[in-house]
Amino acid sequence: MPHLVIAGKLHAAGLELARAAPGVTLDYVEDVSEAALLAHLPKAEALVLRTQPLTAASVAQAPHLRIVSRHGVGYDAVDLAALTARGIPLAIVGDVNSVSVAEHAMMLLLAAAKRALRGHRAVAEPGGWGWRNRFEGVELAGKRLLIVGFGRTGRHLARMAAAFGMEVRACDPVLAAKGWPEEAVRSVDLAEGLGWADAVSVHVPGGARPLLGAAELALLRPGAILVNTARGGVVDEGALVEALDGGRIGAAGIDVFVTEPPEAGHPLARFDQVILSPHIAGMTAESAERMAVVAVRNALDGLAGRPDPAMIVNPEVLEARHAPPA
C-alpha cells in the first residue's frame, strides 16, 4: 500500500483526511528536525513537510518517494534540484494564508505607528504613565505606504491600508513586465518608492542577498516604518539595526529572521519601537486548517498519480512524465 509520512505537527483536519484515505498507510512524526525524519524516509512514497529542511542527502534516503508536499508556500529549505533530478514533484499549498499575512502586516504597521510596545510599558512599569505626553504615536491616515511585492498578500494589504486612508504604491518588476493588475495602485521602481514612502511592507521571496540593505534603507525618509512578514534575509538585519540606531527607521515590525528562532539577545530585541513576532503572520487558526488539508490533499493526489499542476513548483517533472518516448 502507498505510504505517507507527515513530518511536523499538523492541524487535526489534515490528519483526519490522511487517516481516512483508503489504502494509504501513515507515519506521523511531530518532531520537526531533519534527523527525526530520516528514519521514516526509506518507506516514504509521499511526504508532507512542515518547517524542517529536506536536503539532497535526505532525498537520497527515500528511494520510493513520489511526491513532496510543503505545508506552506515557501520552500527555501528544500533541495528542489535534488527532487527535480529524481523526477519528484514539489507541491505547495497555494493561496491559503494571504489574508492572514496581510492582516498581520497591517497589525504591525499599526503597532509600529502607535508605538504599541512603549505604550504597554508606560502602563505596566511604575512611573511610565507620563510617556503619553511625548506624542510619539503617528496616524496612518494620509501616510504613504510602499508595498514591495504585489502578489495576493500585497494586494490584500493595499486594500486594508487604503481603508485606513493611506496612499499606496507598489514595486513588483515581474508584474510590471506582465501588465499591472490594479489601476488603483501605482507601480514604481524600488528606489523611487523608497524615497517616496513613509512606511514599507515587504512581500517577496528570499534571494541570495538582501533586497533591502544599507543602501536601500538610506533612501527612506527619516522616521519611516519598515514591516517584514516575507522571509528572513530579505531585509539586512544588521543594516536595519544601524538604521534604527541612526533614526533613519523610526519603527519596525518584524515577523521573520535570518536564523529562526533568533539567538538570545538578538539586536532587534533591544528596541522598544520594534514589534517582533515568531514567524506567525500566516499561522492563524483558519489558515492552519486550510494549509493542513491542502498539503495532505496534494500528497494524496500525488500518490494517485494526479498532482494538481497549479500547486507544483517544478512542473517540468510532470511534463517529462507525459512526454512521448524518443
Which of 118, 167, 279, 289 does the annotation list as catalytic? 279
Q: 306 Cβ partners below 8 Å, 6+ apart?
A: none
**Cα separation, 42 vs 151, whole angstroms:** 38
Q: Compute CA 313 distance to the chain's CA centroid, rounded to the nearest angstrom.
A: 16
Instruction: Determine contact, residues 63/274, Cβ cutoff 8 Å.
Output: no
Cα separations in angstroms, 180 against 151, 175, 197, 204, 289:
11, 6, 20, 16, 32
Query: Annotated catalytic, 266?
Result: no
Query: Annotated catalytic, 279?
Result: yes
Closest alpha carbon to 273 in 62, 120, 51: 120
Query: Annotated catalytic, 260?
Result: yes
Which of 260, 286, 316, 319 does the annotation list as catalytic? 260
**Cα separation, 44 vs 152, whole angstroms:** 33
Cα separations in angstroms, 248 against 28, 143, 239:
48, 17, 11
Which of 50, 231, 290, 297 does the annotation list as catalytic? 231
Query: What totals of helices (H) and strands (E) does the chain contain, helices first?
Result: 13, 12
Q: Compute CA 326 distance to the chain's CA centroid, rounded to the nearest angstrom.
A: 41
**Cα separation, 223 vs 238, whole angstroms:** 18
**Cα separation, 154 vs 187, whole angstroms:** 12
Which residues are tagged catalytic?
231, 260, 279
